[in-house]
């Protein structure tokens, strides 16, 4: 077999057909574990290897960053094998470790680096880095290429600030979380604030619309985008600018999408625009040397709460096919063999999903025989359930030495269920909560990133406020309020005030020195952005800002741990610089903001994984515990009276069951304390839908085996009062300043003896001055 095609030998004929299809649209539909992701991955290698497609011309969309990483590794392996044959006439595995590493890094540098593989968010963030300045916003907002990406918690805090502090909305009636959710929904449907009101002409609609309006204005003022913007803005940009769309259409000749059933309308529009260059008549589409290839399974559509819509998958042929009689067969491949799960596990999954009415029947045949018995365990309560899992894991690892901790996954419906399970595992089983312990969510990492974000984008006020007094440098809330008010009244970013010494001297009272020192450090590193490597900038700023020193002085284990995490951030920056063509600070920050929960999975392979069913999509584990199968918990109580939502819960259960390769445990409790109250529970209706003969309802045999809060001292900023305050200053007044010369008053801030003036000095810019103290002469 030739080197060119030997990797295709590990595919079945339908997969091979999908991989070898060159131009035009192709849809691969198939059940869980049938090798869809594998086919997609191999297709990329095949395009490069056999059709000589330039890696830069390939765009592959994955559902998680982890999936993207795995895909790149897999392709790297295929190419390293080929290089091993070419250079050494040997199989890669037979070469020395040193040679193997050399070949892999050569494959990386020549191919993998150039591929556009990632999530919708990461890929389109990258595109916006090139073109966001060409975007014409309907409201006139502008962003520059160094925009900051706000993660979910940044977005939440911005919505909260706007709703409760600025618009005085009662947070009991309108929970900021739900407002944020509504804004996100609106964006996922491509709606502007005013459209929300048209769609929902109620009081609630008006509140959402107002908060959304202000939220977007503040994002723009901070030169920031949220996750939804990363999809929405490119869609609008492509729709309004033919040459931008044309450029990217030319670039991405081959588009591939995994988990297509969980694509939402806006994401679909993006893909559609890129593939068709905006051509709406499918008869006019020209597929010469280009393709669109999507894979999915409607039975695994579980993100409708994020506006995903699996009819997009069902409409694929309608959208991209030519409509000729044999279109159906030319543009679709079905995979019918499951390679992942034992036969009994697969049968249980298939029987369950047949209870859904809204589905297309499909075949999913096992390729692996019956495995271990599937148990459905009834626990007295949630603590017993957790103990059961703990004991079974210990027992199975003792019986099967090949099972490492990484072989086990515990899947649940809601995050809150993890705590009790964690407590049971804590003493003797290493575990990690996927999605719970996000590296980039840790306080010290967020602080360090805020410093970096500020260097990169000084208009990012959210980051500025996060760190201006972290570590504590005596800049109190009152000082900050003064500075913020000035920036609001002048309608300039806060940094513009803080970076100007004179303005600070006027406004910051006793904290003046601290604010100026802070601004000096930021300016110093801003000036070195182009010359110093990212990790050095990080180290420098953490030292000079006393951030590290402050942690060292705390001397606690927790502080020690935080220092280690900061070191890890250094490594992340270095690794990023090595691995990416775009190794700029901007690039790194975008990557960090997008780092998903699932990214930690790899490093922590030898730990039991705890995660929600939603996070488990696309993954597989030898042993899976599916817990909390109780009515109201799973299916979730919000879905019990809604047949469509209930079907989605059933799909979620199908996803859970089909993650298991060798063994599956189902668990439920008769009584459960969750979210603070203890309630009797009844078994999930899904249990009754499973084939009784394949499930053992008896118990399986057991073989045992924290920061001190310092009250900021009454940090009163005593101001000299003076008679000069009696003068009535007005915008347009001309003044003379001893040092700055003649200027124009552009704003009068505050009133009475709290009046400050913003004065524009030609050639020097704007300074904020206290007329009682500053050597100002009215002209
Ligand atoms: P899901 O719907 O859960 O995302 P999938 O259809 O993407 O599943 P993969 O993850 O690609 O399925 O494959 C499932 C498992 O089967 C993987 O371990 C993969 O390596 C293996 N596999 C896929 N195709 C084959 C094949 N032709 N021969 C042997 N094993 C295969
Ligand atoms: Mg998959």
Q: End-to-end alpha-carbon separation of the chain, Å?
A: 91
| Structural domain boundaries, residue 155 | 148-222
Residue 720 is predicted with a pLDDT of: 36
β-partners of residue 332 are: 27
pLDDT-derived band of residue 424, with 50, 70 and 90 as boundaries? confident
Ligand nearest to the CA of 656: 1
Q: Quick check: CB of 36 below 6 Å from ligand 1?
A: yes
| 274 and 160 together in one domain | no
Residue 542 is predicted with a pLDDT of: 95
| 493 and 634 together in one domain | no
Q: Is there a domain that residue 600 lies in?
A: no
Q: At CA 171, angle to CA 168 and CA 175, rounded to 5?
A: 130
| 155 pLDDT more than 90 | no
Probe ligand 1: pick from 340, 342, 363, 616, max atoms within 8 Å of CB?
A: 340
Query: In this predicted structure, which of 273-287, 321-335, 537-551 has the lowest mean pLDDT?
Result: 321-335
**What's the 270 CA to ligand 2 centre distance in angstroms?**
21
As separate numbers, helices (DSSP H) first and strands (DSSP E) second, the chain gives 31, 23
| 407 and 501 together in one domain | no
**What's the 337 CA to ligand 1 centre distance in angstroms?**
9
Atom of ligand 1 nearest to the CA of 658: 3
Residue 361 is predicted with a pLDDT of: 80
Average pLDDT value for residue range 169-180:
86
**What's the 335 CA to ligand 2 centre distance in angstroms?**
12
Taking alpha carbons only, the member of 137, 318, 352, 344 closest to residue 240 is 137
Q: Which residues are annotated as a binding site?
A: 30-37
Portion of the chain with pLDDT greater than 70, in percent: 93
Q: Quick check: CB of 406 below 6 Å from ligand 1?
A: no
Q: Is there a domain that residue 142 lies in?
A: no
CATH number for the domain harbouring residue 519: 1.10.486.10
Q: Give residue-wise pLDDT tens across range 376-398.
A: 999 999 889 999 999 999 999 99
| 163 and 59 together in one domain | no
The more confident residue out of 615 and 232 is: 232
pLDDT-derived band of residue 557, with 50, 70 and 90 as boundaries? low
**Atom 31 in ligand 1: which residue has the minimum CA distance?**
339
Summary mean pLDDT of the chain? 87
Neighbours of ion ligand 2 (CB under 5 A): 37, 618
Average pLDDT value for residue range 487-491:
91
Q: What is the DSSP string of 18-37?
A: HHH--SEEEEEEE-TTSSHH
| 692 pLDDT more than 50 | yes
**What's the 613 CA to ligand 2 centre distance in angstroms?**
15
Residue 689 vs residues 366, 630, 650: alpha-carbon distances, Å: 20, 13, 10
CB 66 within 8 A of CB 129: no
Average pLDDT value for residue range 568-573:
78
Instruction: Among 335, 361, 386, give the residue marking a domain's end.
Output: 335
Q: Give residue-wise pLDDT tens across range 264-275.
A: 999 999 999 999
Instruction: Among 198, 222, 246, give the residue marking a domain's end.
Output: 222
Taking alpha carbons only, the member of 523, 527, 528, 530 closest to residue 583 is 530
pTM above 0.80, yes or no: no
Average pLDDT value for residue range 102-118:
92
Residue 716 is predicted with a pLDDT of: 35
Q: Quick check: CB of 321 below 6 Å from ligand 1?
A: no
Residue 135 contacts by C-beta under 8 Å, 6 or more apart in sequence?
A: 143, 233, 236, 237, 240, 241
Crossing angle of helices 534-544 and 557-579, in 10° steps, is 150
Question: Cα(229)–Cα(594) distance, rounded to whole angstroms?
Answer: 13
Q: Quick check: CB of 302 below 6 Å from ligand 1?
A: no
| 297 and 401 together in one domain | no
Residue 141 is predicted with a pLDDT of: 94
Catalytically annotated residues:
36-37, 258-259, 300, 659
Q: Is there a domain that residue 711 lies in?
A: no
Give the total number of structural domains in the chain.
Answer: 5
Residue 283 contacts by C-beta under 8 Å, 6 or more apart in sequence?
A: 322, 323
Q: Which residues are annotated as a binding site for ATP?
A: 30-37
β-partners of residue 624 are: 409, 664
Q: Give residue-wise pLDDT tens across range 210-230.
A: 999 999 999 999 999 999 999
| 168 pLDDT more than 80 | yes
CATH number for the domain harbouring residue 170: 1.10.10.160
Question: Cα(750)–Cα(202) distance, rounded to whole angstroms?
Answer: 37
| 587 and 492 together in one domain | yes
Q: Quick check: CB of 40 below 6 Å from ligand 1?
A: no
Q: Quick check: CB of 10 below 6 Å from ligand 1?
A: yes
Q: Is there a domain that residue 719 lies in?
A: no
Residue position matching structure tokens 């069902």: 314
**What's the 477 CA to ligand 2 centre distance in angstroms?**
50
Q: Is there a domain that residue 723 lies in?
A: no
Q: Quick check: CB of 368 below 6 Å from ligand 1?
A: no
Residue 435 is predicted with a pLDDT of: 61
Residue 283 is predicted with a pLDDT of: 85
Q: Give the pair of three-digit tokens for residue 487.
A: 């920036």
Residue 165 is predicted with a pLDDT of: 84
Atom of ligand 1 nearest to the CA of 659: 3
**Atom 24 in ligand 1: which residue has the minimum CA distance?**
35
Residue 712 is predicted with a pLDDT of: 38
Question: Cα(484)–Cα(561) distance, rounded to whole angstroms?
Answer: 34
**What's the 90 CA to ligand 1 centre distance in angstroms?**
27
Residue 594 is predicted with a pLDDT of: 72
| 732 pLDDT more than 70 | yes
Within 10 A of 544 (CB to CB), how many other CB atoms are there?
17
Atom of ligand 1 nearest to the CA of 655: 3
Q: What is the DSSP string of 373-410?
A: PEEEEEEEEHHHHHHHHHHHHHHHHHH-TT--GGGEEE
Q: Give residue-wise pLDDT tens across range 714-727.
A: 333 333 334 444 57
| 561 pLDDT more than 90 | no
The b-or-e profile of 662-691 (16+ CB within 10 A means b, else e) is: bbbbbbbbeebebeeeeeebebbbbbeebe
Q: Give the pair of three-digit tokens for residue 766.
A: 């704007």
CB 217 within 8 A of CB 339: no
Q: Is there a domain that residue 528 lies in?
A: yes
Q: Quick check: CB of 15 below 6 Å from ligand 1?
A: yes
| 272 and 323 together in one domain | yes
Q: Give residue-wise pLDDT tens across range 437-478.
A: 456 667 888 899 999 999 999 999 989 999 999 998 999 888
Compute the half-sphere exposure of residue 69: CA atoms within 13 Å on the CB side of its CA.
15
Element (H, E) at 129: helix 120-131
What's the DSSP call for residue 408?
Answer: E
| 11 pLDDT more than 50 | yes
**Atom 19 in ligand 1: which residue has the minimum CA distance?**
35
| 389 and 457 together in one domain | no
| 747 pLDDT more than 70 | yes
Q: Quick check: CB of 355 below 6 Å from ligand 1?
A: no
Q: Give residue-wise pLDDT tens across range 625-650.
A: 999 999 999 999 889 999 999 999 99
CATH number for the domain harbouring residue 369: 3.40.50.300
Instruction: Among 594, 628, 651, give the residue marking a domain's end.
Output: 594
**Atom 17 in ligand 1: which residue has the minimum CA distance?**
340
| 605 pLDDT more than 60 | no
| 632 and 579 together in one domain | no
Q: Quick check: CB of 64 below 6 Å from ligand 1?
A: no
Probe ligand 1: pick from 17, 33, 298, 661, max atoms within 8 Å of CB?
A: 33
| 487 pLDDT more than 50 | yes
Question: Cα(232)–Cα(207) distance, rounded to whole angstroms?
Answer: 22
Atom of ligand 1 nearest to the CA of 34: 6
Taking alpha carbons only, the member of 63, 668, 47 closest to residue 375 is 668
| 375 pLDDT more than 90 | yes
| 375 and 419 together in one domain | yes
**Atom 13 in ligand 1: which residue has the minimum CA distance?**
35
The more confident residue out of 354 and 533 is: 354
Phi, psi of 599 (to 5 degrees): -65, -25
Q: Report the Cα 355 to chain-centroid distance in Å.
A: 33
Question: Cα(446)–Cα(366) distance, rounded to whole angstroms?
Answer: 46
Crossing angle of helices 443-456 and 557-579, in 10° steps, is 50
Ligand nearest to the CA of 334: 1
Q: Is there a domain that residue 551 lies in?
A: yes
Q: Give the pair of three-digit tokens for residue 680.
A: 């009797």
Atom of ligand 1 nearest to the CA of 297: 2
Question: Cα(769)–Cα(775) distance, rounded to whole angstroms?
Answer: 9
Residue 595 is predicted with a pLDDT of: 62
Within 10 A of 202 (CB to CB), how many other CB atoms are there?
10
**What's the 338 CA to ligand 1 centre distance in angstroms?**
7
Residue 439 is predicted with a pLDDT of: 61
Q: Is there a domain that residue 99 lies in?
A: no
| 447 and 416 together in one domain | no
Determine what percent of the chain falls in helix, strand and coil, rounding each to the nearest 5: 55, 15, 30
**What's the 33 CA to ligand 1 centre distance in angstroms?**
5
Question: Cα(367)–Cα(382) distance, rounded to whole angstroms?
Answer: 36
Residue 726 is predicted with a pLDDT of: 56
Average pLDDT value for residue range 182-209:
94
Probe ligand 1: pick from 35, 296, 653, max atoms within 8 Å of CB?
A: 35
CB 616 within 8 A of CB 411: yes
Q: Quick check: CB of 104 below 6 Å from ligand 1?
A: no
Residue 116 is predicted with a pLDDT of: 96
Q: Give the pair of three-digit tokens for residue 690.
A: 């499973």
**What's the 514 CA to ligand 1 centre distance in angstroms?**
58
R_g (Cα) of the chain, nearest Å: 29
| 473 and 585 together in one domain | yes
Residues in the chain: 779
Atom of ligand 1 nearest to the CA of 30: 6
Question: Cα(565)–Cα(600) distance, rounded to whole angstroms?
Answer: 13
Q: Quick check: CB of 34 below 6 Å from ligand 1?
A: yes
């Amino acid at each position: 077999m030739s080197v060119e095609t030997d990797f295709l030998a590990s595919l079945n004929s339908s997969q091979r057909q999908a991989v070898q299809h060159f131009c035009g649209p192709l849809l691969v539909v198939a059940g869980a574990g049938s090798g869809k992701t594998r086919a997609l991955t191999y297709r990329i290698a095949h395009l490069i290897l056999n059709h000589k497609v330039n890696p830069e011309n390939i765009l592959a969309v994955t559902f998680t960053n982890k999936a993207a990483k795995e895909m790149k590794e897999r392709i790297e392996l295929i190419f390293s094998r080929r290089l091993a044959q070419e250079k050494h006439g040997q199989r890669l595995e037979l070469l020395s470790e040193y040679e193997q590493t050399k070949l892999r890094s050569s494959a990386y540098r020549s191919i993998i680096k150039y591929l556009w593989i990632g999530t919708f968010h990461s890929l389109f963030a990258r595109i916006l880095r090139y073109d966001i300045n060409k975007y014409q916003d309907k409201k006139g907002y502008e962003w520059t290429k160094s925009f900051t990406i706000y993660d979910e918690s940044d977005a939440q805090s911005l919505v909260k600030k706007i709703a409760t502090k600025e618009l005085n909305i009662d947070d009991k009636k309108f929970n900021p979380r739900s407002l944020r959710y509504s804004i996100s929904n609106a964006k996922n449907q491509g709606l502007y604030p005013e459209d929300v009101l048209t769609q929902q002409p109620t009081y609630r609609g008006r509140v959402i619309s107002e908060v959304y309006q202000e939220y977007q204005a503040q994002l723009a003022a901070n030169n920031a985008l949220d996750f939804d913007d990363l999809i929405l803005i490119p869609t609008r940009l492509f729709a309004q600018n033919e040459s931008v769309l044309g450029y990217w259409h030319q670039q991405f000749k081959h588009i591939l999408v995994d988990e297509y059933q969980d694509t939402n309308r806006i994401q679909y529009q993006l893909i559609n625009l890129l593939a068709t260059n905006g051509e709406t008549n499918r008869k006019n589409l020209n597929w010469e040397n280009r393709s669109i290839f999507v894979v999915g399974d409607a039975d695994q559509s579980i993100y409708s709460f994020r506006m995903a819509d699996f009819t997009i998958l069902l409409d694929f042929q309608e959208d991209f096919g030519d409509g000729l009689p044999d279109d159906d067969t030319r543009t679709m491949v079905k995979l019918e063999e499951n390679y992942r799960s034992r036969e009994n596990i697969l049968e249980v999954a298939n029987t369950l999903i047949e209870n859904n009415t809204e589905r297309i029947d499909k075949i999913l045949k096992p390729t692996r025989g019956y495995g271990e018995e599937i148990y459905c365990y009834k626990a007295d309560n949630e603590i017993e359930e957790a103990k059961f899992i703990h004991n079974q894991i210990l027992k199975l690892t003792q019986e099967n030495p090949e099972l490492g901790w990484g072989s086990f996954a515990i899947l649940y419906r809601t995050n809150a269920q993890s705590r009790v399970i964690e407590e049971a595992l804590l003493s003797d089983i290493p575990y990690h909560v996927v999605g719970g312990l996000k590296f980039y969510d840790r306080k010290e990492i967020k602080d360090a990133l805020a410093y970096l974000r500020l260097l990169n984008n000084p208009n990012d006020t959210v980051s500025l406020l996060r760190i201006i007094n972290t570590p504590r440098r005596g800049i109190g809330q009152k000082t900050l309020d003064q500075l913020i008010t000035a920036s609001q009244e002048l309608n300039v970013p806060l940094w513009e005030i803080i970076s100007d010494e004179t303005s600070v001297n006027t406004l910051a009272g006793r904290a003046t020195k601290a604010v100026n020192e802070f601004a000096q450090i930021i300016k110093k590193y801003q000036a070195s952005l182009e010359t110093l490597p990212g990790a050095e900038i990080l180290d420098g700023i953490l030292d000079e800002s006393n951030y590290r020193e402050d942690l060292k002085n705390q001397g606690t284990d927790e502080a020690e741990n935080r220092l280690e995490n900061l070191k890890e951030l250094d490594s992340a920056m270095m690794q990023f610089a090595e691995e990416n063509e775009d190794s700029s600070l901007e690039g790194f920050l975008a990557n960090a903001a997008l780092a998903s929960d699932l990214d930690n999975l790899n490093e922590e392979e030898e730990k039991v994984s705890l995660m929600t069913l939603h996070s488990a999509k696309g993954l597989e584990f030898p042993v899976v515990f599916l817990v909390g199968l109780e009515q109201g918990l799973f299916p979730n109580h919000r879905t019990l009276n809604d047949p469509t939502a209930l079907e989605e819960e059933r799909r979620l259960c199908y996803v859970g069951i089909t993650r298991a390769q060798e063994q599956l445990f189902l668990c439920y409790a008769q009584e459960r304390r969750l979210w603070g109250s203890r309630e009797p529970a009844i078994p999930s209706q899904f249990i009754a839908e499973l084939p009784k003969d394949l499930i053992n309802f008896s118990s399986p045999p057991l073989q045992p085996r924290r920061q001190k809060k310092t009250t900021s001292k009454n940090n009163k900023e005593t101001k000299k009062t003076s008679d000069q305050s009696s003068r009535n200053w007005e915008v347009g007044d001309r003044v003379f300043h001893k040092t700055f010369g003649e200027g124009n008053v552009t704003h009068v801030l505050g009133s009475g003896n709290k009046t400050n003036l913003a004065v524009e000095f030609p050639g020097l810019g704007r300074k904020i001055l206290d007329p009682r103290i500053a050597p100002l002469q009215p002209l």
